[in-house]
């Protein structure tokens, strides 16, 4: 899945997503962050490099300040 596909699933009532890809790029992270404002939404994604973990951490730490 992609962030946009996750958004489409969310619009149709899906509240738990396992994205079997990495979540990369601030625009895609923002799409997911908007959905995570819903306490009923649960999102998990794969990561395969420490740089992606760092990018996700930096984005979400600053997004929710």
- Average pLDDT of each block of 10 consecutive residues along the chain (65 residues)? 96 98 97 97 97 97 85
From the CB of residue 62, how many other CB atoms can be counted at a distance below 10 Å?
9
Residue with tokens 């509240």: 15
| Predicted local distance difference test score (pLDDT) of residue 15 | 98
| Predicted local distance difference test score (pLDDT) of residue 27 | 97
How far apart (Å, rounded) are the C-alpha atoms in residues 52 and 59? Answer: 10
């Amino acid at each position: 899945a992609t962030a946009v596909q996750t958004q489409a699933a969310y619009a149709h009532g899906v509240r738990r997503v396992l994205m079997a890809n990495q979540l990369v790029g601030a625009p895609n992270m923002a799409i997911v962050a908007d959905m995570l404002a819903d306490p009923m939404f649960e999102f998990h994604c794969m990561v395969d490099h420490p740089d992606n973990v760092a990018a996700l951490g930096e984005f979400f730490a600053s997004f929710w300040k």
